[in-house]
Amino acid sequence: MTYSGPPAEAKMKYITIPDAIDIFNIDGVRMNDAHSPEQGATLSFETFVKARLIDARFGADMAAVVAAVEIKKRLKDANGLLVLEEEHWLRLKAATEFPSRESPYHAEVSHNLVPFMRAICNASDTAPSATP
């Protein structure tokens, strides 16, 4: 059996994807990228969400695993807007608000993540209207 997408009556949530963020330590000093020390560290929304998808709650049961797979797929296909089934969004929101002990935020840099956290937790029930 394969997942064929949301049922026609599924309620959807809409997340406007924020820009990548620069990473600063708690004292406001720009962190260096571990792979390119000469560059300042940045984090994309996609990378943030993928880090939430390895939270233990996404391995708790089959529905959670399916949600993780679907979120990852939709994230890859997103073009400035991540559209999720409400059921899947609720899992992502929970992993964002209350990460498991196995996947906590790093205290030195977690303050940088607030724009991503808010984007997820404040997802809209309606799609943004297109502007001409």
Tokens of 31: 């962190």
The count of C-alpha atoms lying within 13 angstroms of the C-alpha of 128, restricted to the half-sphere facing its C-beta, is 13
Average pLDDT in the 37-41 region? 81
CA 80 vs CA 47, 70, 109, 115, 127: distances in Å? 14, 17, 24, 15, 12
pLDDT at site 33: 79
Q: What's the pLDDT tens digit per position in 7-23?
A: 567 899 999 999 999 99
Under the banding of pLDDT at 50, 70 and 90, the label for residue 4 is low
Q: Tokens at residue 68, please?
A: 């993780």
The sign one gets for the Cα dihedral 77, 85, 66, 55 is positive
pLDDT range class, residue 1, cuts 50, 70, 90: very low
| 40-86 per-position pLDDT tens digit | 899 999 999 999 999 999 999 999 999 999 999 999 999 999 999 99
